Structure 1
Amino acid sequence: MHAKSVLRLLAALCLFFAAHSATAQSDFLPENFYSYKLENGLELYVQEDFTVPALKVEYVTKAGTARQQKDTAGFFRLYSALFWQNAVPGIRAYEREGANGFSAECASSQSRYGFTVPVQSFEKVLALFASALKQPKFSDSAIRNEFESLKSESASYASSAGGFINAAVDAQVLSRSPWKKDSFLQSALFAKMNTEAARQKLSRIARIWYVPNQSALFVSGPLNAQTVLDTVKKELADWEYAVYSPPDTDRIDAPQTPDAPKTSNAQGGRFVLVSDDFSKDFNQALIQYTAPAFGADNLHSAAAWAAAEILRQKQSLLDPAQGETDVSFSADGVDSRISVQALFPASLHAQKDNPADNIEALLNAVNKAVRSVSEGDLTEAQTRARFLQTQALKGPESFIRALSANWAYGGAKYFFEWPKSVQSLTLQQVKDAFTPPWIFLFVHTSQYNLYEKRFAKDGWTVIKQGKKSAGASSTQTAKNRTENRSKNQGEADGAKSERTKAVESYASYTESLAERFTLSSGIRVSVQRLPNTAWVCFILNIRGGELKYGFEKKGLESLAVQNLAQTLRQKIAESAADKAIRNIPEIETNTELFSARLSFTCPTENLPLLTDFLSASLQKNDVSLAQADELYFTEAFNRRSQDISPDNQLQKAAMETFFGAGVSAPLFASADKLLPSVTYDEIRNACLSLYDPENIDIILCGDVPQRIKETLESRFGKEAVKPLSEQHKIAYTKTSFEPAFTEGEQTVRLRHVFLSDIPADQAGERPAKLIPTTDFSDPALLYLKSPEFGTKEAVIFAALMHEIAERLTQKFQSAQNAPALSVRAHTDAEPFFLSSLYFSKVKSKSRLQKAYKDCLREFSSELKELQKPKPKISAQNFCGGIAARYAGAVSHSFMTLESRADLMRQGAEYADNPSFYIEQMRMIGNAGVKDFESVFSKYIEQANLFWLFSADTKR
């Protein structure tokens, strides 16, 4: 939980600086930006952007942790975790309309939720979203599941060294109201509480905070602002505003009164933190200058930012002998902090009376640097702020994202006033940001024992870490606001150890709920039980796929699986009244090169009946001539429609190049996907040959019954089904392909087809003259050979590919004339051991290739920097950052039962381990600098590259 929270905080801080560099002058507003306010108080911000294919929607409410009261602490995060699990309409309803990319974030000042939606589905999806906002409803199982998850994560974090460090600062600096910060662990969330009591607290939060007059909606994309406004009015104008008002003490912008809880002590303090988990070789000092009061105005925040910026420029004055320092600034709208961190070898204190002696020298150095601040220093900081201003407004997407990230601090006014405050600062205001400091010293227990009497004599308050108690006292927890930028490899290893422990804890628990067995018929079954859910996802995976009938008969297996789905639907529809299924599941099919599958998700109570129907359908998967014709022509149409996509055309060209020679040519040929000469008898035989236990896996994920083995044995066991006749038995051997991969570049002439959902009678008159389009901004692909699936190298390679894609995307979106719009990594290398980077809207071949080389060069230099005795970057931040970003990129795969079940299927099929997706998390959690360096050098830096470009892309 807290590792993710730190990542979310860092992301928010990046947006914070971006947003704070805006200005009220209209010259800096992006074009086609509109703001509205509905009568019920809901604010709406629209950014028209017709250069993107879909709409990005973000909903923001002021329900941040800083608004918590003591009895609701923790429940704001619980509500955020439950948000997309609203029973009405349910996440699948959004997905059916094409919505994706769901996100949820509970920060200090606000909670933010986002998703992406196709333009044509905006009205339908917004109607679904509106119903969820107006009538939030969470099932008991969902509440219990998320409650236990947060409780477990918090308990694990509280017992770690990171948890101890991450909250003694807040416990002291925010001693009057520590529950206002996410580091507060003695919250009501972890008290003994039943589901109904939790539901009442969630309902209270909804009534006060998830209401229009505490909310804003941000929409950006290719849709007219007036259309967005009309749609929002239609769906949300009747959303009732808050009946209950939050108390002033829960408001960030509340005036300070004698009764209001304070979060800062003007006198500061000195604290020594003691733990067995701290390094014996190094002691760490932390000095913090905090806001004078809860919710200090943006003038103080601006002054603190400028002060930290100036101090960073004077950092060379702070380095004590044989020690290293780092200066950082953090703000989240409720409190801003300047942090100075120093790391000292413990050996420095061998001949001294107290490890804290160096802190005095550091404090004196800081005070001297503050006294030396000049008008010129302030001017440089203000110039830096103006530079950040231009960075924030390079594109409409960055602008509206920054606006949404900071909206709850004070709306659009705050967004524009902050940079003006920076420009109007005086030298004295900057110096005043250095309030009486909070001083923290982190020492190992053995160091503390040596100097215990001296600490007591000098008036240090001692905070010792408990014995790994899940309910660690808030006075024994701390928040390290220095972003943990230790340059010491020993501390990096410690951080890695903590990360590994967290991953291992998750992996061990999840694996303990997994089971695998084989039925008497030979069918392999993989089970992943998940607590507190009443649904289960079932996958019937049939090995063979497109290749089951050889290269010349591709597509037959797909028709057979689709017919099985039709047969099962018919069985369900014809079931007797006493066997009727109230919640009829959606039955989905998919056929790949080496396997085909049928899947559905249903309430657990329906699973026995559905497996009964499926068993009968498998044994009677016959097909009539009319059904065969319908299946064939529907499939042919769908595949031709897919071929229209430039993405598919490029990928097909690559496959033809790599595998198109010899006997495999028909498989990758650009002709029709389905062989025109296929006969009815061949389709019927494929249907009747589908049930072959030797090539079948069953995957179950969710609320799987304890007696599932007996249930499946009675449906699919040797005694329950007839063996497949020799006439219909297909001898299938998995074919291995070795790509004919060489370094090179290929140009492909793409066929551009423009589709529209506008009815012909509304399309208007045909233009008198048609002007050919030549600037298509087509995609491009870069292929690399990847490590063998199932190895640690493959996991690290995937993380590196995602990192490179992310870095390139950031560069492209911050440049005025970027060679491409964005980059996406595809690292599902099985069965070809090929991975690719997908570049969208490419403008220039040469500039794109140069940008890729420059990115690798920068990454390589960072790896080399880490090998130095005193690197300028932290190994902990480097490795942990890559691992965390990769985990974030693939985290959507754990959001639903269906996606998790599919991960199990992939592991079972390609690695003979349905829990391999868990093992991948272990592998990336254990990865260190040497692992990243080795894989980067072997598979990326020295790799042969194969580029595919559209013939219409400019050189």
Structure 2
Amino acid sequence: MIKSLSCLFVAAFIGISVQAQTTAKPSKLPPNMFQHKLANGLDILVVEDNTVPLATIEIAVKNGSYTETPEYNGLSHLYEHMFFKANKDYPSQEDFLNRVSELGIQFNGTTSYELVNYYFTLPKYNLVEGLKFMNSAIRYPKFDAAEMAKENVVVDGEFQRNESNPYFALNDEMNHRLWGDLYSRKNTIGDHQVIRSATPAKMDTIKNRYYWPNNSLITVAGDVKHEDVFKNVDAIFSTWTPSGFDPAKRWPVPEFKPLQKTDYFIVESDLSRVPLVMMNWHGPDTRTDLQATYAADVFSYIINQNSSKFSKALVDAGLALQVNIGYLTLAHTGPISVFVVPNPNKIRECMAEVKKQMALWDSDDYITNEQIETAKRQLEISQVKEAEITSEFTHTISFWWAAASIDYLSTYVDNLRKVNRDDLKQYVRKYIKNKPYAAGMLISAEARQQLKPDTYFKAD
């Protein structure tokens, strides 16, 4: 799937021997994928691929910026960094890295809106030891104060590098306009002061809220056999005590308030060589409108092609250097974004044409039947390509498990094939046409003075 890039309640089993449940293989899973759940609530997915003698172990946790109040903004990302530090079984950073070397591990992690994931790729003969190593890291982090003080600076340094990109200022202001007082829930990079002042106690708080087996997925992919993986994961992870509560219910994510009016703003940056324009709407989510998420993918693919009426009216006509639309599927209000690089000499005309074209997006003749079928076929091919590199496909699995479900991933093509013209029109009318949005322009101070966009870049 191409993207612009329910937690289960499980009672605690304290003092009870935890046994693995019977393996269930939903009919929609591909023949080389196998799903399983331990009695403590840990989801397991195995992808068998004997192309190369490697295995990837990935643990995904339903955490990320969407769980963060302002005083914790950015700490999911800091936690990700601390994951690869000392723990109970490897009491120093040196011990941790020595074990990484011994097992031949390549490791990394990512933090996004609704997911934090950690992954090891290693020779298949080290799989069991790799699972034990992952178990130590996920269950017993040490949060050493001295190491954490160093990592605070490292994470804040990443933040500063992001700020050096002129696009950052536009995107950050857009997030403030889109999400209002819930801005921190969509700000993955965080807040400088929060990151710099973070303490081990705050890391413990995050762990005690979200790092439980009933809020996690472990995916093992590569040259493995699912029966062996299930047995080994059960032996190593079954003693991981579940939370006894549903984190999503104990610390619910507030609903994002709909935009009340269209909002225009201008951000200055002398790093910007040409003006950039972004227009964002609140889009569908996987909790309340699954059908619209498939329509959004098809519609975005069509509009982004050079052959689309949108591209011809703007790029081919010389009004814009580039145009793009994207939708990010999330469980909590995925944004719809239109990105335009206008011809600096024709910004007024460009924006007028953008609005004219958007008003036609739900017209019967704006998109052809051939474009619809081609889009669905190309999106299907893209999903097949994503599964070709198994060590990368684990990230796709984690994303969809967190944003929707494994079933969403396994039934995506079937649901994609059902999308028709009426679905596309309904998507445009429900989320885009005549709906409030935020529109931002990034421009240098010199260009702003010369081009005077303030006189026309504003709400109607």
Shorter-chain TM range is 0.7 to 0.9
1:305 aligns with 2:300: no
Q: Give per-residue Cα distances to partners, 1:558-590, cap 9 Å, x unaligned.
A: xxxxxxxxxxxxxxxxxxxxxxxxxxxxxxxxx
| C-alpha separation in 1, matches of 2:157 and 2:388 | 42
Q: Which residue of 2 aligns with 1:218?
A: 219
The 8 Å contact of residues 171 and 178 in structure 1, kept in 2 or not, is answered as yes
Q: Which amino acid aligns with 2:300?
A: A
Q: Which amino acid aligns with 2:400?
A: N
| C-alpha separation in 1, matches of 2:333 and 2:192 | 21
Q: Give per-residue Cα distances to partners, 1:510-569, cap 9 Å, x unaligned.
A: xxxxxxxxxxxxxxxxxxxxxxxxxxxxxxxxxxxxxxxxxxxxxxxxxxxxxxxxxxxx
Q: Name the CA shift for 1:188/1:304 in 2 (closer, same or farther; >3 Å).
A: farther
| C-alpha separation in 1, matches of 2:388 and 2:359 | 38
Q: Which residue of 2 aligns with 1:323?
A: 320
Q: Which residue of 2 aligns with 1:163?
A: 168
Pairwise CA distance, 1:65: 2.0
Q: Within 5 Å, which residues of 2 pair with 1:719-734?
A: none
Q: Name the CA shift for 1:264/1:58 in 2 (closer, same or farther; >3 Å).
A: same
Q: 1:358 aligns with which of 342, 350, 354?
A: 350
Q: 1:121 aligns with which of 123, 126, 130?
A: 126
Q: Which residue of 2 aligns with 1:68?
A: 68
Q: Which residue of 2 aligns with 1:455?
A: 454
Pairwise CA distance, 1:206: 0.8
Q: Which amino acid aligns with 1:285?
A: V
Q: 1:408 aligns with which of 386, 402, 406?
A: 402
What's the secondary structure of 1:175's corresponding residue? helix
Q: 2:106 aligns with which of 85, 96, 101?
A: 101
Q: Within 5 Å, which residues of 2 pair with 1:782-797?
A: none
| C-alpha separation in 1, matches of 2:167 and 2:177 | 17
Q: Name the CA shift for 1:152/1:451 in 2 (closer, same or farther; >3 Å).
A: same
| C-alpha separation in 1, matches of 2:226 and 2:189 | 42
The 8 Å contact of residues 97 and 124 in structure 1, kept in 2 or not, is answered as no
Q: 2:385 aligns with which of 385, 391, 409?
A: 391
What's the secondary structure of 1:154's corresponding residue? helix
Q: Give per-residue Cα distances to partners, 1:66-87, cap 9 Å, x unaligned.
A: 2222221111000001111033
Pairwise CA distance, 1:92: 3.4
TM-score by length of structure 2 reads 0.80
What's the secondary structure of 1:318's corresponding residue? helix
The 8 Å contact of residues 61 and 117 in structure 2, kept in 1 or not, is answered as yes
Q: Which amino acid aligns with 2:43?
A: E
The 8 Å contact of residues 275 and 444 in structure 2, kept in 1 or not, is answered as yes
Q: Give per-residue Cα distances to partners, 1:262-300, cap 9 Å, x unaligned.
A: 165154322222233333xx4333333441579664322
Q: Give per-residue Cα distances to partners, 1:747-769, cap 9 Å, x unaligned.
A: xxxxxxxxxxxxxxxxxxxxxxx
What's the secondary structure of 1:285's corresponding residue? strand
Q: Within 5 Å, which residues of 2 pair with 1:155-304?
A: 155=160, 157-158=162-163, 161-182=166-187, 185-186=190-191, 189-190=194-195, 193=197, 198-248=199-249, 260-262=254-256, 264-265=258-259, 267-279=261-273, 282-291=274-283, 297-304=289-296
Q: Which amino acid aligns with 1:300?
A: A
What's the secondary structure of 2:454's corresponding residue? helix
Q: 2:338 aligns with which of 309, 321, 340?
A: 340
Q: Which residue of 1 aligns with 2:366?
A: 373
Q: Name the CA shift for 1:400/1:164 in 2 (closer, same or farther; >3 Å).
A: closer
| C-alpha separation in 2, matches of 1:217 and 1:278 | 42
What's the secondary structure of 1:238's corresponding residue? coil
| C-alpha separation in 2, matches of 1:268 and 1:401 | 35
| C-alpha separation in 2, matches of 1:176 and 1:39 | 39
Pairwise CA distance, 1:382: 2.3
User: Cα RMSD over matched residues?
Assistant: 3.3
The 8 Å contact of residues 61 and 111 in structure 1, kept in 2 or not, is answered as yes
The 8 Å contact of residues 56 and 391 in structure 2, kept in 1 or not, is answered as no
Pairwise CA distance, 1:189: 1.9
1:139 aligns with 2:139: no
Q: Give per-residue Cα distances to partners, 1:656-702, cap 9 Å, x unaligned.
A: xxxxxxxxxxxxxxxxxxxxxxxxxxxxxxxxxxxxxxxxxxxxxxx
What's the secondary structure of 2:275's corresponding residue? strand
Q: Which amino acid aligns with 1:36?
A: H
What's the secondary structure of 1:177's corresponding residue? helix
Pairwise CA distance, 1:187: 6.2
| C-alpha separation in 1, matches of 2:100 and 2:390 | 26
Q: Which has the higher contact order (CA 8 A, sep 6+)?
A: 2
Pairwise CA distance, 1:261: 3.5
Pairwise CA distance, 1:424: 2.7
What percent identity do the matched residue pairs reach?
17
Q: Which residue of 2 aligns with 1:35?
A: 35
Pairwise CA distance, 1:357: 4.5
| C-alpha separation in 1, matches of 2:387 and 2:154 | 39
What's the secondary structure of 2:241's corresponding residue? coil
What's the secondary structure of 2:180's corresponding residue? coil
What's the secondary structure of 2:143's corresponding residue? coil
Q: Give per-residue Cα distances to partners, 1:816-868, cap 9 Å, x unaligned.
A: xxxxxxxxxxxxxxxxxxxxxxxxxxxxxxxxxxxxxxxxxxxxxxxxxxxxx
The 8 Å contact of residues 75 and 190 in structure 2, kept in 1 or not, is answered as no
**Runs (5+) with no aligned partner, structure 1:** 1-9, 15-23, 255-259, 349-354, 462-955
The 8 Å contact of residues 273 and 441 in structure 1, kept in 2 or not, is answered as yes
The 8 Å contact of residues 176 and 263 in structure 1, kept in 2 or not, is answered as no
Pairwise CA distance, 1:416: 2.5
Q: Which residue of 1 aligns with 2:19?
A: none
TM-score by length of structure 1 reads 0.41
What's the secondary structure of 1:428's corresponding residue? helix
What's the secondary structure of 1:361's corresponding residue? helix
Q: Name the CA shift for 1:295/1:443 in 2 (closer, same or farther; >3 Å).
A: farther
Q: Which residue of 1 aligns with 2:46?
A: 46
**Runs (5+) with no aligned partner, structure 2:** 6-24, 91-95
Q: Which residue of 2 aligns with 1:151?
A: 156
| C-alpha separation in 1, matches of 2:390 and 2:108 | 20
Pairwise CA distance, 1:205: 1.0
| C-alpha separation in 1, matches of 2:459 and 2:367 | 34
| C-alpha separation in 2, matches of 1:374 and 1:175 | 35
The 8 Å contact of residues 304 and 336 in structure 1, kept in 2 or not, is answered as no
Q: Which amino acid aligns with 2:201?
A: Q
| C-alpha separation in 2, matches of 1:27 and 1:110 | 24
Q: Give per-residue Cα distances to partners, 1:82-123, cap 9 Å, x unaligned.
A: 111033333235335424101111122211111123344333
Pairwise CA distance, 1:374: 4.3
Q: Name the CA shift for 1:430/1:301 in 2 (closer, same or farther; >3 Å).
A: same
